[in-house]
Structure 1
Amino acid sequence: MLLLLAFTSSDQNNYALPIYPFAALLVAADLEHRLTGIHSAKSSRERSDGMVWRSLQSIAAVYCCLASIVLIFCFGGGLLRISGQSDTTLDVEKLGLLLVLVSTAWLLGGLMVYWPHRSLQQSLKLWLTLHLLGSWLAIFGIVHLGFVGNYSPEVKALIKQPHLQEALSTAPADLVKVDGKIATLLRAYSPIMGQSWASFDDFKAQGSGLAWIRESDVAELDFPHGVLARGRGVLLIRRDPTPAPTPW
């Protein structure tokens, strides 16, 4: 789980959703393996048919339930749907084709390599698991590489500008009176995120040099600053250093 989470492109749990079914499948396979080893060889032979099919049904049920959640999230806009609008983009045809190709490769490989050397039940059990693993590995890979799941191309293009990347990669950018959907998107695409502040007074006292603010709050700024970027109703500002007092 730690490795899977480390390879995601965001710390936001909404964007790491494709990981959860994959992790749950690994846990289910491990539990099934451990539980089958508890019984004696004789009991295992007597109940092998029932245990195998109960295991297959359990894995398939978990897979279907979790797959439904991910599909609803992807195709329906998920938690980012606000006021009937969603920035979620997904190339359904490419995703479906990739899943079909990966799954077919696993199944055909199983038929050619393992089928002559294993019983029917063992082959079904092994390659059903590999079929599910292949599907979720494909989903995880294409989401991580950015082929799908670009939740807001406009915000991503704004933050990925070269001059902004240089600034955002070297210092954390705080959020001042920014919340909701735009705050989630800024956290997802920013290399380093700072803290959230409820007021400009708190930001001036403890905040960093960079901050995302709403355009409507510009009038509240009472300190020297420069505007680095503008878009989606927010501004990225940099606080100018406070000049040192002139000695008398």
Structure 2
Amino acid sequence: MLFKQQIFHPIRVFVGGLSTSPHTSLLLWALSLLLFSSGQDSLMAHDEGLYAWRSRFMIESDDWIHPWSTPHHKTPGPYWLIASSYTLFGISEASGRLPSMIAGILSVLLLYEIGKILFGKKVAWLAGAILSVEFLWLQYSRLGTPDVPMIFLVLLAIWSLLKAELHPKYRAAWCFLVGLSFGLGFLVRSFMIVLPIIALLPYLIWEHRRHRHLANPMLYFGFVVGLIPTFVWLWLNWLRYGNASVEQLVDFVINLGSGERDHNGLEFYLWNLPLKAFPWFFFSLLGSFLVIRRPIRYYQLILVGYPFILFVELSLFSTRVSHYSLALYPFIALLAAVGLNWLGKIYQDVETPQSKSLHKIPRNLSYAFGLLGVLLAIAGIFAFIWGDAEVRKYAILAFVSGLSWLILPLVWINRYHLGKKSLTSRYWLAGWLIAAWISLAAAGSSGFLSNYNPDIKAFIQQPAIAQVLQSYPINFLDVGGKTDVLLKFYTPHHGKRLEQVSELPTSGYAWVSVKQVANVSQPYRILGTVQKVSLMELLKKI
């Protein structure tokens, strides 16, 4: 009996916490997942490494407008955010990721506010909690990229549209905030902000007679104000580069839309979304069915139309990568909350004949995920026993995750086979959230969500290597790809970028690709090699 009480005590604490301030509980729920770490951080290449290096270069060059020798192909919003964080907290992986973390938490709270307007507090809280434990969302909330900050601005705009309808007296202020959010979105994510704007047009046009947002001049005034930083940046760039500044922005979008990446075809998001948003994507399908069956008056084109149109836009855009779909994840969470809440009612209500027939759904789901948990735990045990050190990290994660998913069948068995009627639907719903939270907490603690290139980080932290990097400028010879991106950030003092072996100086240090080492004719000494790049000391001829 004492053992059972101890098992369900964390769930009781969690369920009891739901009665406190929803904002506080969501804040603690999301923040804790953002902080779990192995104690070692390293950047992900390409994107995060590029944003980290370019932001650092802005600071070191003391030029936040055009530090590059040629026109840049992206708007400077994300660089300014990361560079500001570097200025306040120092240059590190953690400070570079801080803007995304803050935007991620604010997005969770905004989704709660949107859900509260559409469905009420319970579903809204579930939506915020689910968004926090969606794998890809959590991963990018912990990366120094512009994706999550842009989505925060989109959610802010959608929330403002809803508030403008609820409070007509302050409609001008709310519409100004809508326009401002989209204008700043262009600064953060360039032309990518156009996709969510287009996805909202059916709601803005079809419901125009009722809300008249498009007739509100403050909407356009806010948009222009939001564009001012971008206009100023473009003007200052035009003074230096001429029309090439605008051409670079446009050409970059055209290039992205002109060819597939990694052969990701039209079907890419059809399998990528279910995988990266598992299991919440499938609950969102149930939620979509329920919402279509019983439409939400006035807001159907936001709740269903917006994510559907955005999905079509992303699928038709020829560059298809996982993080482009992040704008869908808040709505996957919101619709999943609708579906999960409906299942929770079935879990508890067995009085009507219809409920009795549907009662098998939550039962079968509980046992299915319990079986998945058993398989994961067994796989983790075998991998830990027979795997190497690298495999054992995954083995521990699989074992912990497997045990966490056993919560669901345990709750079901205790209620319906052992007579624990106090285990209401709130406990069953909490079981889903806690299992996902434990799995992601284990992933964070193992370094899977923060330490993406531990070999490079370990290499540059070696005392002999660190002393050289801190004391001398390092040249770069034929270093490319992801390794080049990472080494640019982790090398404190840059020398020259060289194209030919003959350009190497007579003395000094250089990062040299392994394939070029054999072509170096002058005396040298290899201090170490990482990811097929060697740190070479060039020795003077005696």
Bigger strand share: 1
Give the TM-score range, shorter chain: 0.3 to 0.5
TM, length-normalised to structure 2: 0.26
TM, length-normalised to structure 1: 0.47
